[in-house]
């Protein structure tokens, strides 16, 4: 590196550090605060319980969207990443995944829990300022299971998340992103008929996946390469692929790196879910699942009484 270049590099690094809100977060460099459970848990309600901006209720409850049927010859898929945590714990933010997407210019849809957004608010505001690349969807406040929550509890899980997004959007200064998210992802992929009506009544479309990409630990690059070949084999034009970016599944970036290369080699382009929806006709089911109908029912008993990790039902009353 020449002296002038070194100077520029140092100057930019220092300038970025001095304008950063916290010395722990320097641009997009991973920080110790991004690690799993690095930030203490706070299960209180958001500052505002209802968003200022309310969406129009959807006239038809279209069900659970698993993929999009595209015109012949169109090869597009959507990469989606869930970023979530329970009422009873905090998770993390997978900067390797975010930085990989940014470096390669890969658009993605990020389904964020409202409580997760608050825990990782500085990251969310950075993401909001890259609205060209990243679109944010609603993934309930604290991972409430839509098949188990009361209608009031479900409403609060959705609206508290809309509110948190709105608060962070105001703070971020980002103006070219939607007022509130219009896409929703079911925690655990679980729902019932009543939940579909409540969510449609709040104006959000339910987006699941047809390819659950992470099966187990991909920290070993050889294993990740094997997983990538399997996932590529399940991917079709119009597929919606599920990943996580909260550091719960391990080695997601290894899988992603291999998979993107394979799919690009096969001529696929990557688009956000909202763009994919505009390109064709959604394929839906009435009851969400991972890979086979009902394969997620067993999760109903594993995370507290209603998916939030709590022993008492989430009612939405702070």
Minimal distance in Å, beta carbon 194 to Zn ion?
21
Of 84 and 255, which has the nearer Cβ to Zn ion? Answer: 84
Of 82 and 210, which has the nearer Cβ to Zn ion? Answer: 82
Minimal distance in Å, beta carbon 18 to Zn ion?
36
Minimal distance in Å, beta carbon 83 to Zn ion?
8
The stretch among 163-171, 179-187, 275-283, 292-300 that binds Zn ion (CB under 5 A) is 179-187
The stretch among 81-89, 120-128, 224-232, 301-309 that binds Zn ion (CB under 5 A) is 81-89
**Site membership for Zn ion, residue 84 (CB under 5 A):** yes
Cα(250)–Cα(160) distance, rounded to whole angstroms?
29
H runs (alpha helix) in 28-150: 95-104, 114-119, 121-128
**Site membership for Zn ion, residue 186 (CB under 5 A):** no
Minimal distance in Å, beta carbon 221 to Zn ion?
26
Minimal distance in Å, beta carbon 137 to Zn ion?
11
Minimal distance in Å, beta carbon 187 to Zn ion?
5
- Give, as one character, the DSSP assignment of residue 33: G
Give, rounded to a whole angstrom, the gap between the first and last alpha carbons of the chain.
56
Of 162 and 237, which has the nearer Cβ to Zn ion? Answer: 162
The stretch among 116-124, 161-169, 185-193, 261-269 that binds Zn ion (CB under 5 A) is 185-193
The stretch among 33-41, 76-84, 167-175, 208-216 that binds Zn ion (CB under 5 A) is 76-84
Question: Which of residues 46, 66, 80, 82 is near Zn ion by CB under 5 A?
Answer: 82
In the block, residue with structure tokens 């997004």: 165
- The secondary structure element, H or E, covering residue 183 is strand 183-184
Of 81 and 268, which has the nearer Cβ to Zn ion? Answer: 81
How many CA within 13 A on the CB side of residue 255? Answer: 24
Both tokens assigned to 256:
């992603």
Cβ-closest position to Zn ion? 84
> Which of 35, 136, 128, 140 is closest to 85 using CA atoms?
140
| Secondary structure E strands in the chain | 64-69, 76-83, 108-112, 134-138, 183-184, 205-207, 211-212, 240-244, 269-270, 281-285
Per the CB < 8 A criterion, the answer to whether 79 and 277 are in contact is no
Site size toward Zn ion, by CB under 5 A: 3
How many CA within 13 A on the CB side of residue 309? Answer: 12
Dihedral pair phi/psi, residue 189, rounded to 5°: 65, 20
**Site membership for Zn ion, residue 263 (CB under 5 A):** no
Which residues would be at the binding site for Zn ion (CB under 5 A)?
82, 84, 187
């Amino acid at each position: 590196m020449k002296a002038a270049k070194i100077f520029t590099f140092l100057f930019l690094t220092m300038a970025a550090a001095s304008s950063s809100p916290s010395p722990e977060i320097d641009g997009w460099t991973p920080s110790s605060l991004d690690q799993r459970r690095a930030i203490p848990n706070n299960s209180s309600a958001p500052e505002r319980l209802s968003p200022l901006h309310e969406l129009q209720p959807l006239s038809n409850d279209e069900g659970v969207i698993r993929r999009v049927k595209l015109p012949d010859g169109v090869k597009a898929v959507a990469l989606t990443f869930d970023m979530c945590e329970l009422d009873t714990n905090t998770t993390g933010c997978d900067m390797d995944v975010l930085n990989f997407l940014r470096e390669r210019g890969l658009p993605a849809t990020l389904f964020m829990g409202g409580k997760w957004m608050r825990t990782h608010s500085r990251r969310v505001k950075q993401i909001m300022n890259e609205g060209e690349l990243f679109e944010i969807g609603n993934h309930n406040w604290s991972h409430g299971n839509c098949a188990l929550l009361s209608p009031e509890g479900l409403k609060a899980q959705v609206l508290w998340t809309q509110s948190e997004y709105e608060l962070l959007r105001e703070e971020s200064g980002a103006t070219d992103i939607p007022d509130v998210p219009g896409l929703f992802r079911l925690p655990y992929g679980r729902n019932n008929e009543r939940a579909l009506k409540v969510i449609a009544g709040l104006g959000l479309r339910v987006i699941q996946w047809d390819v659950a990409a992470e099966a187990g630990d991909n920290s070993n690059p050889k294993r990740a390469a094997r997983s990538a070949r399997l996932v590529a084999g399940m991917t079709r034009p119009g597929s919606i692929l599920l990943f996580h970016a909260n550091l719960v599944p391990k080695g997601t970036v290894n899988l992603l790196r291999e998979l993107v290369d394979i799919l690009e080699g096969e001529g696929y382009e990557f688009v956000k879910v909202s763009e994919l929806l505009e390109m064709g006709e959604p394929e839906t089911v009435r009851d969400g699942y991972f890979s086979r109908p009902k394969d997620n029912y067993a999760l109903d008993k594993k995370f507290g009484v209603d998916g939030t990790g709590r022993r008492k039902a989430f009612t939405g009353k702070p």
